[in-house]
A and B are shown apart, each in its own frame.
Chain A
Amino acid sequence: MTEKVKVRIDGQVIAATPGQTILQAARDNDKYIPALCYMEGLSAVGACRLCMVEVSGVARLLPACTTPVQEGLAVNTSSPQLQSYRKIALELLFAERNHVCAVCVSSGHCELQTLAQEHGVTYVRYPYNFPKLEVDTTHPKFVLDHNRCILCSRCVRTCAEIEGAHVWDVAGRGIQSRLVSELKRPWGEATSCTSCGKCVQACPTGAMAEKGFGVEEMTKKPAVVGRLTSMRGGR
């Protein structure tokens, strides 16, 4: 049996497996750290900054999803400062694109919406960006609405790491970043797309949805997609 490392999460000492991230160790021990771009079964990229934690002895905040555990690490998962930064991160996600829960297929089942509720985001303090964005309706079964995409790249990693098709990528820089299928071909024309729909299931918001679903009707199963990795032995 592998040697365990002892870490302290919110004062409680837990035994973690070496190589695990803080987020995984916390989850294994029923400690809650909010996360959005992290999805079990996929590599971690640290894109959304919601899982930021305080580590004693480290001056800056660290993302729990990409920071490996170490013997003696002491982690603080919530503090007024962390709460306030998480709230800011969420508000900026809302301000960046056009998230209108009232007409969204995922309303009521959306990870972004749920996190906003948990963090008491009742309104957004920053001016909205109101970008003019497209809806890709070209795929016969699925639709991609860029208005609702938060660029978490869960779909990108799902397609590349689980399905092995690598249809999706993020192109452009900064505020111009966009999710693209096969070097900017419309989704419906992407020859490598197997139409498996796993990206749709992995997407935390209503950005990807099955066609024909009305408001609030789209529920997703990211856990089922993530489990595929462990079912084939982590390969």
Chain B
Amino acid sequence: MTTKKPTSPAKKPTSPAPMDRELVAYAPAAEPAEARRPVVKKITIPHVSRIEGHARITIKLDDAGQVIDTQFHVTQIRGFEKFVEGRPYYEMPSITARICGICPISHLLASSKACDAIMAVRIPDSAAKLRELVHCAQFVQSHALSFFHLSAPDLLLGMDFDPARRNVAGLLEEHPDALRDGIALRKFGQQVIERLAKERIHPSWIVPGGVNAPFDPEAREKTLAEWPAAMAIVKRTLALWKKTLDGFPDEIATFSNFPTMYCGLVGPDGSLRLYDGNLRFIGPDGSIVADQVKPGDYANYIGEATLADSYLKAPYYKPVGYPEGIYRVGPLARLNVADRCGTPDADKELEEYRQRLGRIVQSGFHYHYARLIEATYALERMKELLDDPAILGTKARAHAGVNNLEGTGIIEAPRGTLIHHYKVDDNGAMTWANLIVATGHNNLAIGRGVLQVAKRFVDGNKIQEGALNRVSALVRAYDPCLSCSTHALGTVPLLLQLQGPDGQLLDEVRSE
């Protein structure tokens, strides 16, 4: 729905009338009172039903007030897979893009790739390049948002900085340049997306078979002209972060600092890939355990465990089993998995990163560092793509009907590996769908990380500010998209609860 049409929440089958406002049927006041006025009826839907997806962290204390256990629960909206049954497969990109207002482009791309597989087409070269270009722009935008807007108050002002000023206003006083850089970088990414896809939030430009309009040479010129400033910001930020990094020994030591497996897409030569590639899984020590796994074969390697306390499924590496096969995805994982980035500046940064932190970096705190290196890579890839004359090709969409009854599309979303897997009947009506989102893959690791952080920072019967902030900061380091992983609409609040030995609620704090 565009701007001002009536919102029909019909597409959320689990809740019969999921609206947070009062549903009131009445005749407009302007109308003269008369017999035909509809009956006034008032239905109030309690606010709780509105929280369709939420994340809750419970920290359990023993008698001595020490942390004994934590749980990270995410309630997933069920029924999405059911809802799409019977719909034409080619509608999936736009439907899934609406699952999440934060990562629409990732869903559009993964979904369109799954549709390409159903159509059995190899999309035109220019379309593949344009999709990768918009994807890279999304990376720049998303990583800028995560680093500057969400984490910079903690990272640049410090975890124990006055909470009242540990926000954008505080940043404006202490680090105005960084704040300006963050805004400019995000804007650059958004503008490129807008230019390509015409519409920033839910572009209908990425379609099964390619994209629905070729690249406008003028848009290419504009993007090339803005590119150097964006690159300069990323370089400045990396330099700043490398100086600041050592001030966080406790966070580095405790933010999910434990061995896990890692998963990500790589090219045929083992280099980092974001839009297209095959899956690689590595062990905690960095040894490759599975390589060049084709998207269609993912199910042989990834199992999905159902957790009792959360509707979010927990994917694991099948050959190892659950729960030992826990693996991580996203920036940290991708840089562990790939042999190299494949672009000059990003590779230089990657080398320094590995010199400082080792070949396999396991502290979740370094998602931030990894994100900045990926932003460098995404910008360099953008430049390569923009410089390639083939990107202006006028054939940008392949047309075909149903040629396969099953299709899988995998991309590396900014937050990690995103899998869309569909089955259709002969007429192209969906019969089955499975989506594995980045936060789903990382679910187990985030949960374990919370325990590690809580053990170090939580003490006593009250959630102290520093502790709350560190638990949230850990979750933020993964930049999880709870909106996506719960298939809920909008942003999802994080609820932190402290539980006593008998399960009684000692304290509760909510953060966005």
Contact surface of A with B, Cβ cutoff 8 Å: 80-81, 84, 87-88, 91, 94, 98-103, 105, 107-108, 113, 116-117, 121-128, 130, 134-135, 137-138, 140, 143, 147, 188, 211-217
Contact = CB atoms under 8 A, between A and B. Distances in A.
B427 A188 contact: yes
B5 A117 contact: yes
A100 B17 CA distance: 14
A123 B7 contact: yes
Contacts of A140: 401
B11 interface: yes
A84 B31 contact: yes
B4 interface: yes
B420 interface: no
A134 B86 CA distance: 7
B30 A126 contact: no
Contacts of B8: 94, 98-101, 124, 128
A211 B30 CA distance: 44
B249 interface: no
Contacts of B91: 103, 105, 214-215
Contact of B98 (A102, A212, A216): A102
Contact of A98 (B7, B10, B204, B429): B10
B207 A214 contact: yes
Given A80-B30, A100-B10, A127-B25, A121 B428 contact: no
A123 B95 CA distance: 21
B93 interface: yes
Contact of B428 (A80, A91, A137): A137
B419 to A, nearest CB: 21
B204 A121 contact: no
B202 interface: yes
B23 interface: yes
Contacts of A147: 10
Contacts of B88: 135, 137, 143, 211
Contacts of A84: 27-28, 30-31
Given A81-B32, A103-B98, A214 B10 contact: no
B64 interface: no
- Most chain-B Cβ atoms within 10 A of its Cβ — which of A80, A87, A214? A214
B90 interface: yes
The interface residues of chain A, by DSSP majority, are classed as loop
Given A101-B1, A127-B17, A214 B212 contact: yes
B204 A217 contact: yes
Interface in B1-42: 1-2, 4-11, 13, 16-17, 23-28, 30-32, 38
Given A211-B428, A212-B401, A215-B91, A121 B5 contact: yes
B6 A94 contact: yes
A101 B5 CA distance: 8
A138 B98 CA distance: 26
B243 interface: no
A107 B1 contact: yes
B43 interface: yes
Nearest to A81: B31
B142 interface: no
Contact of A80 (B31, B399, B401): B31
Nearest to A102: B1
Contacts of B2: 101-102, 107-108, 113
B256 interface: no
Given A100-B1, A128-B17, A211-B88, A116 B98 contact: no
B202 A102 contact: yes
A216 B17 contact: no
Contacts of A87: 28
B146 interface: no
Nearest to A133: B86
Contacts of B6: 91, 94, 99, 116, 121-124
Contacts of A108: 2
Nearest to A139: B427
B87 interface: yes
A103 B11 contact: yes
Contacts of B93: 214-215
A131 to B, nearest CB: 9
Given A137-B428, A212-B399, A127 B43 contact: yes
Please name the 8 residue pairs, one residue from A and one from B, whose CB atoms are nearest each other, closest first. A215-B94, A101-B1, A98-B10, A137-B427, A102-B1, A137-B429, A124-B6, A214-B207
Nearest to B3: A117
B409 to A, nearest CB: 15
B31 A103 contact: no
A88 B30 CA distance: 13
A125 B208 contact: no
Choose among B10, B11, B87 the residue with the greatest number of A CB atoms under 10 Å from its CB. Answer: B10
Contacts of A101: 1-2, 5, 8
A52 B118 CA distance: 48
Nearest to A131: B10
A116 B26 CA distance: 18
A211 B401 contact: yes
B211 to A, nearest CB: 10
